[in-house]
Amino acid sequence: MTLRAPLPAAVPTALRQRRKEARPQELLDAALDLFVEKGFAATRSEEVATRAGVSKGTLYLYYPSKEDLLKEVIRHNVVNQIAEGMEIVRAFEGSASELLAYVLRLWWERVGETRASGILKLMMSEVRNFPEIAQFWIDEVISPAHRMIAGIVERGIDGGEFRPVNVENAVHALIAPLLFLVMNKHSLGACVASARLDPKAVIDAQVDLVLHGLQTAAAKPEALPARPARKAAGSRR
Amino acid sequence: MTLRAPLPAAVPTALRQRRKEARPQELLDAALDLFVEKGFAATRSEEVATRAGVSKGTLYLYYPSKEDLLKEVIRHNVVNQIAEGMEIVRAFEGSASELLAYVLRLWWERVGETRASGILKLMMSEVRNFPEIAQFWIDEVISPAHRMIAGIVERGIDGGEFRPVNVENAVHALIAPLLFLVMNKHSLGACVASARLDPKAVIDAQVDLVLHGLQTAAAKPEALPARPARKAAGSRR
Amino acid sequence: MTLRAPLPAAVPTALRQRRKEARPQELLDAALDLFVEKGFAATRSEEVATRAGVSKGTLYLYYPSKEDLLKEVIRHNVVNQIAEGMEIVRAFEGSASELLAYVLRLWWERVGETRASGILKLMMSEVRNFPEIAQFWIDEVISPAHRMIAGIVERGIDGGEFRPVNVENAVHALIAPLLFLVMNKHSLGACVASARLDPKAVIDAQVDLVLHGLQTAAAKPEALPARPARKAAGSRR
Amino acid sequence: MTLRAPLPAAVPTALRQRRKEARPQELLDAALDLFVEKGFAATRSEEVATRAGVSKGTLYLYYPSKEDLLKEVIRHNVVNQIAEGMEIVRAFEGSASELLAYVLRLWWERVGETRASGILKLMMSEVRNFPEIAQFWIDEVISPAHRMIAGIVERGIDGGEFRPVNVENAVHALIAPLLFLVMNKHSLGACVASARLDPKAVIDAQVDLVLHGLQTAAAKPEALPARPARKAAGSRR
DNA sequence: TATGAATGAGGTTTCATTCAT
DNA sequence: CATGAATGAAACCTCATTCAT
């Protein structure tokens, strides 16, 4: 929670200009962090301003109300996350198993590890107070993401690589651990060091497990080409 | 989420007595529902009182502050959930696969479907504001639950029924969809009908998938004795 | 601007009860005084509360917003002022001249001299900011009052006591000085002692003048039976 | 109340020059309009600037504070209104009745109909918040105006044209309807079309009525030479 | 015990004013 | 001179908590 010191009296033009243009982004970032950390209602708008290095009044120069700020935070952190993913999926040439493993890991690097992952927690925690956001979220995030994962699973089934499972449920099984990791990162894991999970390990294990579960007997051997499956070893607790 | 009508003017003594004894439970239930629905900060203590059918002042006769109420809500909804589960696991005589399937489904019926599931969402949303709860939650819920599931997985591995996977990660893979379902139930699924998942189907699919992933080749055929594995059929979207 | 001292810690029941019932009236009175004195926008809601002897919060227990308070102030001070006047007019048995003189003087005593007269200034100053009040004001005050005065003038014309002037304009001529006195009372007259008018004298003079102007030659002599017309004397400045 | 469009990108020097010199007047006009319409406290200084076609900062280059702006608005709209009137009165050669009728009608044309009339409403509404203005207003407006009207009335009495009434009160009776019209114009009449009065008709009627009331029997017939007295006829409502 | 009127600290938002450009 | 981004005091309003009954 590094609080930036208040602006010195005189700021050179160049810097002022740069800051002005950066303001919206800085405010949105500060707001996202705080909303995720403390919840929307428990975050004071002045805190957001202070963390972004401006005064209370300045925040209201950019966003007309705290609620508008929330909506903008969501809108801003949602765009185009999916489009890019779609492209990657389309271009990928390997097996469905490889693609799934790749996509899940990539998502963690691009979203899970970044500040944007907080949006997930924010939505989980706050949608019920802002139901008009729900549909937007479904249309922009949930549906495209489902379609993308579903496409991969279908590709695997069609190519004989996966068992003919119910696609929708397989999608849930693949998405659930990502959500699990994000929630851990932004709740318990943020409070208690010992509760913190190792995301990459969990994802690898999940990929291993689910692919094992999805694959037909014939496809099994090549299951996880990228990284060797971790054996239980002594860490079993 | 039964909203009780305001008390009629004259309440027979017997009923009054009964209600008086039920007060704490009613207050805790009302508080849980509202905290889960709107978040702790966004819930007014008067709302809790009103939903429990008492006046604002009465709430403070039972709980000295809103924060104490929150803690009591959590404490109250956490006790004994685990002990019982442990007993069931110990007594179970079938295969590890059967036991896992049984435990997951049972948990959904006993917790997921009940008001108590909200505690999970509550913790996800609020721990960071009440870090002193975190350790309690870990000690009373996370650790025992992990140990319980881990015990089953280990039993399966030791008995040659499961591959020798990393137990901890397998536990996460098994728990994640439960969390996924609970979060869905209490966030998006509560706003948008079309986003609502069918929990039993998701759990079945998850059990199917993960057991497939866990089991050694030899154990495969009997995977899901209780219910037939759902085939993808035309529902694949 | 006598500020009542804050309530002592313990107030006996009887008094508490009495005060609670009196609250709305006390708040409306305080609000009226302050809105008239400083204007709506320049009056802080806490001032209203303090002048009524309660805290800020209490004000909001009775009126959900400052604007609602204003509307209630207006509504409350407008009712039934007119109905009573109508009755008096109907029952009056003397000449139209006498009735006019009587009604104008009575209005000053019943309204002009009381706190309620401030409503007039309030309306003058604030209607444009609350146009939805305008029609209410016209329907409840302006129109009935006009009809009442017009009735008297018509009675005088029909009875040959007054010249056949345009009734509507005569009404304006009769009402204007009342407004003039009210505005004086609540603006300049409230600031500068020397600017303060003697309302009764002004009304008498106005009655004298307008009746002289209205009356036919035949009716003249009895013009002002109640009080002798003031001669200019030396006070002419 | 001409709302000026925002300045085009490039303004020819000549025009810019002209505008620059006109700035103070434009700002004062905008301020007067807004203060009259919304009240001093409810008018934001940015609105004034915008209506005058300049930026917020520019306003402060001309007037050091909103309150100073108000005072300047008043001072500016008050000067010389009176001096001119005095001259007219001195030069007038007709009867006192004619002069009164002329002066009242002239005032309406020169002040009542113009933006400057708003100053009256502004004073009524705001003096109590700015008592230091009160004396200025009395000295510059009230007293001279009274003296002027009083002079005419006295001239009439001295010449045997008017009855020897109390001059001061006669002055009030003559001024009241002007105030009445101004208040109507700037309050109810500005909100509700049906409440709008016809100022010239009201003034004529008032002149008619009061002259009738003032004049001695001998002077009566010539009462209103300029315009025919309006008969009640069917318009009596 | 139960009530609900009252309180006032604290949050959201506005806006007069400043100042670097 | 003119601009408009930035400030922060101050206004409106909320709500956790108290307390007399």
DSSP state letters, B109-122: IIIITSGGGHHHHH
Alpha-carbon distance of A5 to B191, in angstroms, equals 41
Question: Residues with Cβ < 8 Å from A229, sequence gap 6 or more?
Answer: A208, A223, B165
By Cβ distance, the residue of A142, A169, A231 closest to B195 is A142
pLDDT reading at D229 higher than 50: no
Average pLDDT, chain C: 85
Cα–Cα nearest to A229, from C151, B164, D79: B164
- Whether the CA torsion A86, A88, A91, A95 is positive or negative: it is negative
pLDDT band at D76 (very low <50, low <70, confident <90, very high): very high
Across the interface, whether the CB atoms of A187 and B124 are under 8 A apart is answered yes
- Of D150, D169, D208, which has the smallest distance from its Cβ to C202's Cβ? D169
Gap from B46 CA to E3 C1', Å: 13
Q: Which of residues 10-49 of C touch strand E (CB under 7 A)?
A: 16, 19-20, 23
Mean pLDDT over C123-145 rounds to: 94
D28 pLDDT band, cuts 50/70/90, is very high
Question: C80 by DSSP, 3-state: which?
Answer: coil
- Which amino acid, one-letter code, is at D1? M
In single-letter form, the type of residue at position A46 comes to E
Contact A58, A10 (CB under 8 A): no
> Using 50, 70 and 90 to split pLDDT, how confident is the model at A210?
confident
Considering A202-206, B164-168, D117-121, the range whose residues carry the highest mean pLDDT is D117-121
Of D24, B183, D40, D163, nearest in space to A142 by CA: B183
Predicted confidence band at A4 (pLDDT cuts at 50, 70, 90)? Answer: very low
Report the candidate in A221, A102, A81, A93 with the shortest Cα–Cα distance to residue A155: A93
Share of chain A above pLDDT 90, in %: 68
Contact D179 C179 (CB under 8 A): yes
DSSP state of A138: I
What is the Cα–Cα distance from B223 to B211, expressed in whole angstroms? 7
What per-residue confidence (pLDDT) applies to A117? Answer: 95
Quote the tokens at residue B150.
């881990």
**CA A101, CA B22: separation in Å to the nearest integer?**
52
pTM over 0.85: yes
pLDDT band at C20 (very low <50, low <70, confident <90, very high): confident
Residue owning tokens 């109300």: A65
| pLDDT < 50 positions in chain B | 1-11, 221-237
pLDDT value, residue A5: 37
User: Which residues in chain A, range 36-75, keep a C-beta under 7 Å from any nucleic strand F atom?
Assistant: 54-58, 60-61
C39–D38: do the CB atoms touch at under 8 Å?
A: no
Which letter does DSSP use for residue A3 in this model?
Answer: P
More confident residue, A152 or C221: A152
Q: Which residue is nearest to nucleotide E9 (CA to C1')?
A: C57
Instruction: Identify which of B39, B10, C174 has the alpha carbon closest to the alpha carbon of residue A124.
Output: B39
The answer to whether C44 CB is within 7 Å of strand F is yes
pLDDT of residue B228: 41
More confident residue, C159 or A217: C159
Q: What is the pLDDT of residue A226?
A: 42
What percent of chain D stands above pLDDT 70?
83
Q: Which structure tokens are listed for B110?
A: 């006993």
Average pLDDT, chain D: 84
Which other chains touch chain B, taking contact as 3+ CB pairs less than 8 Å apart? A
Taking each helix axis as running N to C, give the angle between helix A118-126 and helix A66-76, from 0 to 180 degrees, rounded to the nearest 10: 130
- Scanning every strand, the nucleotide with its C1' closest to C57's CA turns out to be E7
Asked whether the predicted pLDDT for residue A194 surpasses 60, the reply is: yes
Distances (CA, A) of C187 to C43, C108, C195, D124, D225: 16, 17, 10, 5, 37
Give the span between the Cα atoms of D225 and D217, in whole angstroms: 16
- Distance (Å, whole) CA C39 – CA D128: 9
Mean pLDDT of A189-207: 92
CA nearest to C141, candidates D187, A138, A66, B145:
D187
**Are B39 and A142 an interchain contact pair (Cβ–Cβ within 8 Å)?**
no
List CB contacts of B139: < 8 A, sequence separation 6 or more.
none
Residue A99 pLDDT more than 90?
yes
pLDDT score of A206: 87
Nearest nucleic acid nucleotide to D67, CA to C1' distance: E16
Residues 27-66 of D with CB under 7 A from strand E: 43-46, 56-57, 60, 64-66
Rg of the Cα atoms in chain D: 21
pLDDT at A182: 96
End-to-end CA distance of chain C: 34
Tokens of residue B219, six digits? 């154990």
Q: What is the pLDDT of residue D5?
A: 37
Using DSSP, state whether C236 is helix, strand or coil: coil
List the single range of B149-153, B194-198, C11-15, D22-26 with lowest mean pLDDT.
C11-15
Is residue A12's pLDDT more than 60?
no
pLDDT value, residue B22: 77
Query: Alpha-carbon Rg of chain A, whole angstroms?
Result: 21
Q: Are A96 and A156 in contact (CB under 8 A)?
A: yes
How high is the pLDDT of residue D21?
Answer: 73
Asked if the Cβ–Cβ distance from D39 to C201 is below 8 Å, we say no
- Per residue in B181-206, is it b (16+ CB within 10 Å) or e — as a string? bbbbbbbbbbbbeebebebeebbbbb
Indicate if the pLDDT at residue D224 is higher than 90: no
Higher pLDDT, B100 or C14: B100
Average pLDDT over residues C85-110: 91
| pLDDT band, very low/low/confident/very high, at C232 (cuts 50, 70, 90) | very low
Q: What is the pLDDT of residues A26-58, one digit of tens each?
A: 999 999 999 999 999 999 999 999 999 999 999
Distance CA A44, CA A48 (A): 7
As a whole number of angstroms, the distance between CA C117 and CA C204 comes to 19
First-to-last C-alpha distance (Å) of chain D = 34
How does pLDDT run across D151-182, given as a tens digit for each residue? Answer: 999 999 999 999 898 999 889 989 999 999 99
Contacts of A197 in chain B (CB under 8 A): 172
Domains with residue ranges and CATH for chain D: 13-75 (1.10.10.60), 79-228 (1.10.357.10)
Give yes or no for residue A22 having a pLDDT over 90.
no
pLDDT score of A234 more than 60: no
Q: Which of B191, B200, B220 to mutate to test the interface with A (most CBs of A within 10 A)?
A: B191
Could you tell me which of A203, A36, A217 has the C-alpha nearest to residue A119? A36
D224 or A140, which is more confident: A140
Determine the Cα–Cα distance for residues C84 and C148; give it in Å rounded to an integer.
11
B-chain residue closest to A199, CA distance:
B169
* Contact state of B176 with A172 under an 8 Å Cβ cutoff: no
Nearest beta carbon to residue C41 from set D41, D138, D236: D41
Is the pLDDT assigned to residue C222 strictly greater than 70? no
What distances in angstroms separate CA A97 from CA A103, A162, B49, C72, D224, one per listed residue?
A: 10, 8, 53, 71, 105
Tokens of B4: 């009780």
- The residue type of B191 is C
Q: Is C150 exposed, middle or buried (0-12, 13-18, 19+ CB in 10 A)?
A: middle
pLDDT of residue D217: 65
Residue D30 and residue D2 in contact, taking contact as beta carbons nearer than 8 Å: no
pLDDT bin (cut points 50, 70, 90) of residue D212 is: confident
pLDDT tens-digit map of B50-68: 999 999 999 999 999 999 9
CA of B124 to C1' of F14 (A): 27
Q: Is the CB of C65 under 7 A from strand F?
A: yes
User: Using CB atoms, which residue from B41, B213, B230 is nearest to A213?
Assistant: B213
* CA torsion, ordered C69, C71, C73, C79, to nearest 10 deg: -150
